[in-house]
A = this chain, B = another copy of it.
Amino acid sequence: MIASTPEFFREFPSVSLDSDKLQTPCLLLDEGKLRANVKAMKTHLEHLDVVFRPHLKTAKSIDVARIAMTTPQGPAMVSTLREAEYFGRNGVLDLIYGVGITPNKLPRVAAIRTEGIDLAIILDSLEQADAIATYVSRFNDPLPVFIEVDADGHRSGVNPHDSSTLIAIGKHLLSNGAELRGVVLHAGESYALSNPTDIVAAAEAERIAAVTAAQTLRTAGLPCPIVSVGSTPTARYAKDLSGVTEVRAGVFMFGDLYQAGVGTVAVNEIALTVLSSVIGHQRSKGWILIDAGWMAMSRDRGTAKQKIDQGYGIVCDLNGQPYADLILVDANQEHGVVALRKGSSASLPELPVGARVRILPNHACATAAQYDSYHVLNSSNEIRTVWPRINGW
């Protein structure tokens, strides 16, 4: 009897969070908040006249993807080839695999493309372009390629001012029969920001880097039909996207405490929580022990670097309302230690063994990856269905 499977919920189509039938820890997804977060992003990007390409790495669920995408066929971005296989076989045909390609992954890319899925890859070096040349001749497939451009020194990508490398990669790809589909950038440094003015500036810097690289390619006579940028903070705060054709974002769909610290979501807009049961108390220490440890929450402590350290998450009641100053202060593998924030004058709520709480996570991508399904809440905080998700590579 593994109670947290989809089969279980087909028997019990509307399970109350109070129900003893619900095993903890499990992952709750508020569908109304998810839809509102998606709608706000889509509306914002429509006003900026760009295509929205949701990043599916946070949700890894076709049900969530269909809400986030502008059409059931995409476009969308993925972070693993397993995601490409899963979403592609579920009808998402316009995909970019957003991690620099390696030669040994190309046979798997070819197998995916043989299924009629238009999977594009990204690269940022001539040595990778060489591998693409081999691919094109071996598989007789004009593989669509994006050149990754470095928006802000965060991780990978060609420097947008390095014209010679950009042009050399572009020419090498084209001369070997690949398709040069455009440039992709990711303003990863924007995650370290926390006020709108800085994020607006990061979005503009990302746009300028993208447009600079695209112009370099076009001036050299190379095609660059798609100019793709994206990160949840810059997507949310961009004011002008002239020259950009599409924007990517992923974690905004669920939101999390880290993004609340950045300022891209309000705490009461976060769609994802972990349902947990009280398993004991250490009353002399002011501790409530719960069955959500780091395995349930992930080891992510990103908020430790922000203005407000949220521990391993904010503790809420079954309606999703935070208890005053109550956080998950520590976590072992399957044990969470709930206590008041240091210096708080609030009082500890009375939560007997077996009582349920909901924990808002630091990082939705990391927390969701600890589970194989979402328990989807309706507006009455009842579970109306279960959506499976994938993990792994």
Contact = CB atoms under 8 A, between A and B. Distances in A.
A99 B131 contact: no
Contact of A301 (B81, B299, B352): B299
Interface of A: 1-4, 20-26, 57, 79-82, 85, 98-105, 107-108, 111-112, 123-125, 127-128, 131, 150, 153, 155-156, 188, 277-282, 285, 287, 289, 291, 294-296, 298-301, 332-335, 337, 352-354, 363, 365-366, 369-372, 391-393
**Residue with the highest number of chain B CB atoms closer than 10 Å, among A155, A291, A369, A372:** A155
Contacts of A278: 102
16 contacts: A1-B85, A22-B104, A24-B102, A24-B104, A79-B334, A99-B335, A100-B289, A100-B353, A102-B353, A128-B280, A153-B285, A156-B279, A188-B332, A295-B369, A299-B366, A371-B392
A23 B108 contact: yes
Contact of A20 (B100, B103, B188, B291): B103
**Residue with the highest number of chain B CB atoms closer than 10 Å, among A125, A287, A298:** A298
Nearest to A363: B299
Nearest to A188: B332
A128 B291 CA distance: 14
**Residue with the highest number of chain B CB atoms closer than 10 Å, among A105, A127, A296:** A105
Given A26-B393, A334-B79, A392-B372, A281 B125 contact: yes
A247 to B, nearest CB: 18
Contact of A100 (B124, B150, B279, B295): B279
A334 B10 CA distance: 34
A336 B52 CA distance: 27
Contacts of A125: 280-281, 353
Given A2-B85, A299-B298, A103 B353 contact: yes
Given A100-B280, A298-B299, 12 more contacts: A1-B107, A1-B112, A4-B392, A20-B103, A80-B334, A102-B278, A102-B291, A102-B354, A103-B354, A153-B285, A156-B280, A333-B365
Q: Which 7 A-B pairs have the closest CB atoms?
A: A100-B279, A299-B299, A20-B104, A1-B111, A299-B300, A100-B280, A102-B277
Contacts of A370: 369, 391
Contacts of A366: 294-295, 299
Contacts of A112: 1
A18 to B, nearest CB: 10
A328 to B, nearest CB: 13
A291 B99 contact: yes
B353 A127 contact: yes
B155 A1 contact: no
